[in-house]
Structure 1
Amino acid sequence: MDTSNIGVVFGSLTPPEELTGGAALAERLGFGELWFSEDCFFTGGLSGLTRLLAATRTVPAGLGLASVMTRHPAILAMELAGLSRIHPGRVRAAVGLGNGHWLRQMGLMPERPLTAVTETFGVLRELLNGAAVDRRTSTHEFAGIRLEFPPERPPELWIGAVNERALRAAGAVADGILLSVLAGPSYVSWARERSAAADRPAPPITAFVLASVSDDEQVARESVREAVGFFLRAESHTALVTRSKHGAEVRERIAGLADGEPLVVEDAWIDEFAVAGTPGRVRDRLLELRAAGADSLGLWLFPPERLASQLQRIADDVLPSTA
């Protein structure tokens, strides 16, 4: 594994004013890709992606992911086209359903989620290739829409997928597949198998990873414990959790919680759903995820207030030994 396969995820825990410095440092340290995770209601994905691209020179940067419900695909295509013309060959964007809780907060949950994702993906592809779109989908309407400034090099279009049907759909059409945080080695292997298509090469897979490195293994675990708990509660109904050896225990624990009661996250859960520990342990876990089928890994580094030192520590003490 070389450094081109290890990226950095920016997003909800990075104050907008710190994106420029963080992205520039990540590129200088040799990380191979950058991602911006749009989480409601923190920092906008397109403004965040714009900052990542403007702060760097050559590293590819991706939006991961944009909900097909919160951004009309014609507007999303227009924005991506502009970024692709300004930064040719460096832009990628993953689309997907997004967090169901946030969609319900806005009254935007579709009746047929996977259909909404695949239809929107198809429209985005057409618009970014310069075609006119004149049809109604299950979630949007397009009356003769064509981009005035389509990019000469359309951006890579990825799909963020979790469960089996979405993985199969993504494998059939997407330029890449984005896996959420909590993707342990067994899940990555399962997802790789489900996304294989018979009639085309398998698209690359990037897995987001909650990560922290420290000489004290328990300090590293504590840095990611709250985030692991948050995502376990949000994703307990999905294959990310149900496919895990800890899935039944996690779901039983969550089902027994009273309103407002915090989830107690066991160390074993952190070891399954995150990458946290000494440099050697982090190195071994990254290699496991790569061996399981992840073509690249996007590290979401904790604690967020120590982003620069975590980037430096990963670059100095982890990545040189994974080549």
Structure 2
Amino acid sequence: MSMRWGMTVPLSGVPLAEHAAVFRGLADAGFTDVWSSEVNGTDAFTPLTLAAAWESRLKLGTAITPVFTRGPGLLAMTAAALAETAPGRFQFGIGASSPVVVGDWNAVDFTEPFARSRDVLRFLKSALAGETIDEQYPSFTVRRFRLERPPAVPPQLLLAALRPQMLRLAAAEADGVILNWLSATDVATALAETKEAGPGFEVAARIFVIPTEDADYARAVGRRMITSYLTVPAYAAFHRWLGRSEILDPMWLAWKAGDRKGALAAIPDSLVDELIVHGTPDECRTRVEAYARAGVTVPVMALMPTPELERGGAAALGELITALGR
């Protein structure tokens, strides 16, 4: 079973300036990794830079940094700076992201996501190795770029992937893959497409965790999350590929018709319980361990707010981190 144990940062309700105690608490509890995302909260790199400075015991990773919202050179420079700050501790996860994040929020055309992901991955492998790049890739062109400060220990490059084409690309050309929005029983289906990966291939997975015994609350939150994510075309196609068309068709039809309440009501408890980890801290930890047994080498929890955390504040959060640790 995986000896890695990750948490998504920053944690909700805690200012970045107060995360030194969070990082220390995570390391003390047995967490080995902190991973950041980049949607509409913090950027992917600032929380990890703070973690690098404040807690030397933690490995760092992005899951993910979009390949569209920064130019290739800037992606390489930012990754190189963090790799230099935390030598040997940083894994750089990249991915296509979504039309909303890329197009609606960052005013960039979301076109040919597979090609862009593939080409950025290839560019970064060369750039972070200190090579000069003067190349016309299928999706962009870079002229005479070379990092002034290539990292002595280049970061591993992980690629976010949902379906076979991207999963196979990750296996063929990346150091690992990042999975998202799947159950522990889905992991084998995804990893069947990565059989050509070399030794040491990392498999990170973001796992949404709602640590509360109030199942009604957890399922209500889970339903809202499912309608937010699984109506996005890429995630809808992913779950069709996983075999969930029949169970999700009623939700998709209601959503398409503009019936938001109907879409929520169409999601059965069983699906929420498959995709969202909830329960006591012990139950949540056991559920996350199931992902590791299925082949995930870096399970990464993403904590959702709960009434208990809102009532208990920093003390409750500290106790929860300890209870979820290893």
TM-score interval (norm. to shorter):
0.7 to 0.9
Give the direction of change, closer, same or farther, for the CA distance of 1:242–1:55 in structure 2 (3 Å limit).
farther
Give the AA of the match of 1:231: Y
Q: Is the 8 A contact 1:159 1:178 kept in 2?
A: yes
2:284 is matched with which residue: 282, 301, 305?
282
Q: Is the 8 A contact 2:4 2:298 kept in 1?
A: yes
1:95 aligned partner: 94
1:69 aligned partner: 68
Q: Is the 8 A contact 1:212 1:310 kept in 2?
A: no
Q: Deviations along 1:273-293, whole A, 9 cap, x unmatched?
A: 111113443233223222222
Aligned partner of residue 63 in structure 2, secondary structure: strand
Q: In the TM superposition, what are the counterparts of 1:77-92 in structure 2 within 5 Å?
A: 77-92=76-91
1:230 aligned partner: 228
Instruction: Report how far residue 295 of structure 1 moved.
Output: 1.4
Give the AA of the match of 2:302: W
Q: Deviations along 1:157-183, whole A, 9 cap, x unmatched?
A: 111111110000001111111111x21
Count residues in correspondence.
314
Instruction: Report how far residue 201 of structure 1 moved.
Output: 2.6
Q: Deviations along 1:250-276, whole A, 9 cap, x unmatched?
A: 233122234372441432121111111
Q: In the TM superposition, what are the counterparts of 1:141-290 in structure 2 within 5 Å?
A: 141-180=141-180, 182-197=181-196, 200-201=198-199, 203-222=201-220, 224-234=222-232, 236-239=235-238, 241-244=239-242, 246-257=244-255, 258-259=257-258, 261-262=260-261, 263-264=263-264, 265-290=267-292
Q: Is the 8 A contact 2:98 2:110 kept in 1?
A: no
Aligned partner of residue 5 in structure 1, secondary structure: coil
Q: Deviations along 1:188-236, whole A, 9 cap, x unmatched?
A: 11111111206x3361201100002234444444454433432222354
Q: Is the 8 A contact 2:11 2:303 kept in 1?
A: no
Q: Is the 8 A contact 1:196 1:202 kept in 2?
A: no
Q: Is the 8 A contact 2:206 2:301 kept in 1?
A: yes
Gaps in structure 2 of 5+ consecutive residues: none
Give the AA of the match of 1:275: V
Give the AA of the match of 2:231: R
Give the direction of change, closer, same or farther, for the CA distance of 1:270–1:12 in structure 2 (3 Å limit).
same
Q: In the TM superposition, what are the counterparts of 1:120-135 in structure 2 within 5 Å?
A: 120-135=120-135
Identity of aligned residues (%): 24
Are 1:38 and 2:38 matched, yes or no?
Answer: yes
Give the direction of change, closer, same or farther, for the CA distance of 1:247–1:184 in structure 2 (3 Å limit).
farther
Give the direction of change, closer, same or farther, for the CA distance of 1:206–1:312 in structure 2 (3 Å limit).
farther
CA–CA separation in structure 2 for the residues paired with 1:178 and 1:268: 25
CA–CA separation in structure 1 for the residues paired with 2:209 and 2:50: 23
CA–CA separation in structure 2 for the residues paired with 1:110 and 1:177: 21
Aligned partner of residue 207 in structure 2, secondary structure: strand
Give the direction of change, closer, same or farther, for the CA distance of 1:219–1:273 in structure 2 (3 Å limit).
same
2:320 aligned partner: 313
TM-score by length of 2: 0.86
Q: Is the 8 A contact 2:25 2:321 kept in 1?
A: no
1:25 aligned partner: 25
Q: Is the 8 A contact 1:236 1:250 kept in 2?
A: no
TM-score by length of 1: 0.87
Q: Is the 8 A contact 1:12 1:42 kept in 2?
A: no
Gaps in structure 1 of 5+ consecutive residues: none
Q: Is the 8 A contact 1:215 1:279 kept in 2?
A: no
Instruction: Report how far residue 32 of structure 1 moved.
Output: 1.4
Q: Is the 8 A contact 1:58 1:90 kept in 2?
A: no
1:295 aligned partner: 297
Aligned partner of residue 299 in structure 1, secondary structure: strand
1:59 aligned partner: 58
Q: Is the 8 A contact 1:16 1:43 kept in 2?
A: no
Aligned partner of residue 153 in structure 1, secondary structure: coil
Q: Deviations along 1:51-104, whole A, 9 cap, x unmatched?
A: 232231121111111111111121111111112112111111111111222223
Instruction: Report how far residue 314 of structure 1 moved.
Output: 5.2
Aligned residues: CA RMSD: 2.6
Q: Is the 8 A contact 1:110 1:116 kept in 2?
A: no
Q: Is the 8 A contact 2:230 2:236 kept in 1?
A: no
